[in-house]
Amino acid sequence: MWTGNAPEGPYEALGVFGAAFHAIRARAAEERSEGQLVDAAISGMIASLDPYSGYVTATELQAFDEEDTGSYAGIGVTVEAGGRIRSALPGAPAARAGLRAGTIIERIDGLPIHAIDRTRIVDLLRGEPGTAVRVQVRPPEGHLATEIVLTREWLPLHPVRTRMLGTVGYVGLDHFDDFATGRLLAAVADLKALIGPEAISGLILDLRGNPGGLVVQAVAVAGAFLGRGEIVRLVGRGPRDVERFAREPGGRDLVDGLPLVVLVDGDTASAAEIVAAALQDHRRATLVGTRTYGKGAVQTTYLHRDGRGLRLTTAWVVTPAGRKVQGRGIEPDLVVARGGDATMRDDDAVPASHPEQDATSLQNGITEDLRIDPAGDAQLAAALRHLETVLERRAGRTGSRPPGFDLPQGTRAPDGRE
C-alpha cells in the first residue's frame, strides 16, 4: 500500500493515513473527491475528542460570528419547521404587524413554505435593512390567511429583556454576545430610574435557556455584581495550563448589595453557568430553578485560509470554589420546577414599557417584555417570595419596614441564600 520511508516523531502515523487515503482514492467502489476524504478524516478525528469540538464550514463560522456580534437585519421572528413562529421579538416589525407565537407563515415572497429548507427560510426573512419581504400568514386560531409586507430593520439578535415587578427589577439575558454586559448595565440603570434609585428593593437575573456565548462577557457580567474575587478558572491540558479570571478589590456592585436572585434551568449552559456558579460560590446571589445543563467546555476557533475552521475544546470550567461544571451542572439553592413547589437544597453552604416599542429602542438592545408574569411562572414567583423573605429579615435587623412589592398569592416563602 505504501513503500516510502515513514516520517519520524509525532507525525509518523500520518504514513498510515496516507496509505489509507491512497487505497480509498484508487480502489473504493464509492468514489469520493480528495476534499471530501480529507473533510471526513478531519471530522472523525475531531469527533473523537469531546462532544463540543467540531470541524465547521465557512457558513457555520459566519453563523457563530453573528451569534457573537449580536445583531442582524430582519423582521424579528424565530421560525420552526413547517413555518410556525416560535417567538416574535417585542417591538420588531413582525410583532408590530400582529404576528406572534403560533402564527403560521405559509408563503415568503410567493414561495410555499413546505418547499423551502429551514435554513433557507431564515435567509429569505433576513436581508438588507429597509428592504421589504412579503409573507402570507395564518393566525393560530384562524383559517383565513392574509398577506402582509414587512420592512426589515436592524435588530438585536439577543435583546436584554426587562420588567418592573413592583419594586423588584427583572433582567433576562438570553445569550452572552459582544453587547451583553453593556446592555445589562443600561437595563439595570433604566430599571433603577423607573422604580426609583432609593425604592428598588432587589434584582432578578434570568439565565434560563441561555446557552452561553463569550467567556469574557460572562466574566464581566459576574464581575458587575462582585466587588472582588475570583470568577472562574479555565483549566487546560496540564496542571500549569490554568487561566484565572478575577475582579480586583475595590470594584463596585452594580446594585449596591441589593438582594439578587439568578433563575436557572436545564438549558442554562456554558458561559451562563460561569455567571451562576461565581455568584453562588461568593454567596452573592440565590440560584432558583433546576440544575443547569453542565457544559463546562471552552472552545477556541482556529481558521483556515479557505474559510473553514476548527472549534476545539481548549479548557474546562472550574468555579471559584473548585467545582467542575462539565457533566455536572450547577445545583440551585432553591429547587423549583417550572410548575412545581419549592424545596430547599440540603447544603450547609446555603445560609439561612410597552412591547410595541419603536426600532430605536430595539437597536439599543433592550426591550420591555410584558409576557414576564410571576402568576404563570413558578420559578419567578419563588424568586419574588425569596426576595420578600430577605427584605423582611434585613428589616428586622434594622428595625425598619421593607418596601412593598406586588406578589402573586402562594405558599409561604422558603428560606434561601441572602
Catalytic annotation present for 53: no
Three cell numbers, residue 194 = 423607573
User: In whole angstroms, what is the distance from residue 355 CA to residue 353 CA?
Assistant: 6
Q: How far is CA 101 from CA 77, 98, 203, in A?
A: 9, 10, 28
Q: Which of 53, 190, 265, 295 is catalytic?
A: 295
DSSP one-letter code for 217: H
Q: Which of 174, 265, 281, 369 is catalytic?
A: 281
Given a contact cutoff of 8 angstroms between Cβ atoms, the answer to whether 365 and 359 are in contact is no
Three cell numbers, residue 24 = 480509498
Length of the chain: 418
Q: Which of 53, 201, 270, 333 is catalytic?
A: 270
**Sign of the C-alpha dihedral, residues 98, 100, 104, 110?**
positive
Three cell numbers, residue 411 = 405558599
User: In whole angstroms, what is the distance from residue 158 CA to residue 154 CA?
Assistant: 12
Catalytic annotation present for 281: yes
Of 158, 186, 300, 284, nearest in space to 229 by CA: 284
Three cell numbers, residue 134 = 412579503
Given a contact cutoff of 8 angstroms between Cβ atoms, the answer to whether 211 and 64 are in contact is no
User: In whole angstroms, what is the distance from residue 269 CA to residue 259 CA?
Assistant: 23
3-state helix, strand, coil in the chain (%, to 5): 30, 25, 45
Catalytic annotation present for 192: no
Three cell numbers, residue 322 = 473548585
Q: How far is CA 56 from CA 17, 157, 197, 282, 414, in A?
A: 21, 21, 47, 37, 47
Sequence-separated (6 or more) residues with CB below 8 Å from residue 63: none
**Sign of the C-alpha dihedral, residues 362, 368, 371, 376?**
positive
Q: Is 11 helix (H, G, I), strand (E, B) or coil?
A: helix
Given a contact cutoff of 8 angstroms between Cβ atoms, the answer to whether 168 and 405 are in contact is yes
Residues with catalytic annotation?
270, 281, 295
